[in-house]
Amino acid sequence: MLSRETAALMLVDVQGKLARTMTEPDRLIQNLATLIQGAQALSLPIFWIEQYPQGLGPTHSELQRLLDGVKRYEKMSFGVGGDPELMSDLAVSGRHQLLLCGIESHVCVYQSAAQLLQAGFEVDVVVDGVDARTPLNRRLGLERMQRLGAHLTSVEMALFELTERCDDPAFKSILSLVK
């Protein structure tokens, strides 16, 4: 099970030009906003990654606003494992459970999951927090990550799993986010 003491959120490449080409961009942004706010309510570290922002543009403005004060990592490799600074900061954080979300499920999210699993991390892919330009590629990315050993979860499932109890001080915040 996910634990607040060992989990972190990893947001991969939800950037302007590319984000608008997803199969369900509005749903994706809404779900990611809920996930980010939930992670913040639960005091989870957030790792915010952008792929070549000079070409793809910045993170979607709605998400960027929620990430004020969070360190942003720029990468050129498709997977996050190719960024030494990010991997070093991740190791220093002591977090070994990663809630992985972003785009695209069959490229950057998939390659990130593969590299993180290979490095010994537990990866929980947030199914309603990933997308691709085609439904087929979205599905193939999810299937491949699951075959590699990633767990599949949803925004609501992950947030309630991390909250654990209805008498938890964060419960009301989480409940208001998912309603």
Q: Which two tokens stand for residue 25?
A: 């961009």
Q: pLDDT for 56-112, tens place per residue? A: 899 999 999 999 999 999 999 999 999 999 999 999 999 999 999 999 999 999 999
Contacts of 10 (CB under 8 A, 6+ apart): 46, 47, 49, 80, 98, 99, 100, 101, 102, 112
**Across-strand partners of 8?**
98
124 is known as an active-site residue: no
- Token look-up 């992985």 returns 100
179 is known as an active-site residue: no
Q: pLDDT for 128-159, tens place per residue? A: 999 999 999 999 999 999 999 999 999 999 99
Q: What is the pTM of this model?
A: 0.96
Q: Which two tokens stand for residue 93?
A: 């954080």
Domains of the chain from N-terminus onward: 7-178 (3.40.50.850)
Exactly one of 13, 83, 124, 131 is catalytic; name it.
Answer: 13
Exactly one of 83, 101, 108, 131 is catalytic; name it.
Answer: 108
101 is known as an active-site residue: no
Exactly one of 17, 26, 68, 75 is catalytic; name it.
Answer: 75
Check residue 165 and give its pLDDT: 92
